[in-house]
Chains A and B, each alone.
Chain A
Amino acid sequence: MWIFLVYILILLVGFGIRLKTPQSLRLSYFRIFFPSWRFFEAPGDRLSFSVMSESQSFWHEVSFHQPQRRFLICFWNPIGNEKMARYNLLEHFVQDLDATNTYEDTELLTSFKLLQNMAAEEIKKIEKDFKKYKFKISLNDEDDLLISDWFLR
């Protein structure tokens, strides 16, 4: 009982605080216990994720758009929800990026490795027998936040 009362007290205090960037990895994992209800507060920057294979030498932008609207989508949307999780991963990485100084540091981030997995999966859709690939993240279709090195399959 007391544990729950203390928990509620922490939640009430927490309502006034917003952690823009997770202060630590552990906090980021346990943020679910301290909900933030800031939904669609303000239009933010648009992030885009593009991939390239060695043989194709042009960037292919990955779509995070929701599947075509249908009535059923109000109740069942596994693909759309997964796309949302992918975009959240991209946003998570951009937050992590602020805390790194060098590309070598960035490569060690788990979010970077997950994006690398995502890039490999996306390249596979375009070219089954790819050998090398890389990815880039851009802000508002203008600034490239990161262009990765080439990765072997």
Chain B
Amino acid sequence: MTLETALFWTSRLVLLSLLVQTLEFIWTNRSWSDEGIWKFTTLKSELATIFPIGKIGIRLLFSAVSIQVLLALRILIIAHAFIQPNAISFLLLLFSHLILCWRYRGTYNGGSDMITLMTLLGLSISYSFTDLKSMRAFGLFFIAVHSMSSYFLSGLYKLKQESWRDGTALTIFTKKNWPQPLMKILSWGVLCFEVGSPLSLLNLNLTYAFITLAFFFHALNAAFLGLTRFLWAWAATWPAILFVTTYLSI
């Protein structure tokens, strides 16, 4: 996959992911409104401790009205970046992503917020250096390294656990009473997929096989555990992995 094709797909997929996230925030607007759990009045003193930008600054960034405006602007920026991806759009999206995460005291959905931030950082680098091919490639490497390490390290940590090796962890997480031998096989399937993920960088066929498996892996996670944002967020990193494999095989 060429640098430009990888940038095209990474940017479009992350924009799609951000659009879904934005619409979900609008759908659940009650949670961050002045009537909801994460109401501004409850959070403002803590936010003021973390960000020394004055009361007006805190209100401008984090009040319910500001979040409403931010989400509306985000849709416009996403639409603009979809047609014409550029550094300013990705930096603005990165900033808005941080504001939303901080509004929920760090992250909203954990891992998916983290990988989205890494993707936006990588794209901001790539699109900031339109004339410098090495830096454009660096941005994609940044995304691919994070994506790969997320699979590999997650698998490695699981592998250390007896409950993952014997399949009981999967039974508990999925809340399925399937036969233990089957759970053990499925469990080892997850472990092999995650720990073996760096091998997919050896050639393009392996990368395509890895991405196919990754798609089903995330789709099952979405279906069984409700991790829907993870599917979108990680899908945006796959073109960067394809680019890195192509780059390494030249």
Contacts and interface: CB of A to CB of B under 8 A. Distances in A.
A147 interface: no
Nearest to A116: B42
A40 B228 contact: no
B172 interface: yes
Interface stretch (B76-84, B147-155, B206-214, B236-244): B147-155
B131 interface: no
A81 to B, nearest CB: 6
A8 B149 CA distance: 13
A151 B177 CA distance: 41
A25 interface: yes
Q: How large is the interface on A (under 10, 10 to 19, 20 to 34, 35 or more residues)?
A: 35 or more
Interface in A47-84: 66-67, 69, 73-84
B144 to A, nearest CB: 13
A30 B150 CA distance: 18
Interface residues of B, number: 61
Contacts of A73: 222-223, 226, 228
Contact of B228 (A26, A43, A80): A80
Nearest to A44: B172
Given A32-B113, A40-B169, A41-B161, A69 B38 contact: no
Interface string B172-185: 11000000000000
Interface of B: 20, 23-25, 27-28, 31, 36-39, 42-43, 45-46, 49-50, 98, 101-102, 104-111, 113-115, 117-118, 125, 135, 142, 146, 149-151, 153-154, 157-158, 161, 163-164, 168-169, 172-173, 219, 222-226, 228-229, 231-232
28 contacts: A4-B142, A29-B50, A29-B105, A31-B107, A32-B107, A32-B113, A35-B117, A37-B149, A37-B153, A37-B157, A41-B161, A43-B169, A66-B226, A69-B224, A73-B226, A74-B228, A76-B24, A77-B228, A81-B109, A83-B226, A85-B31, A85-B109, A86-B37, A92-B105, A110-B42, A114-B43, A117-B37, A117-B38
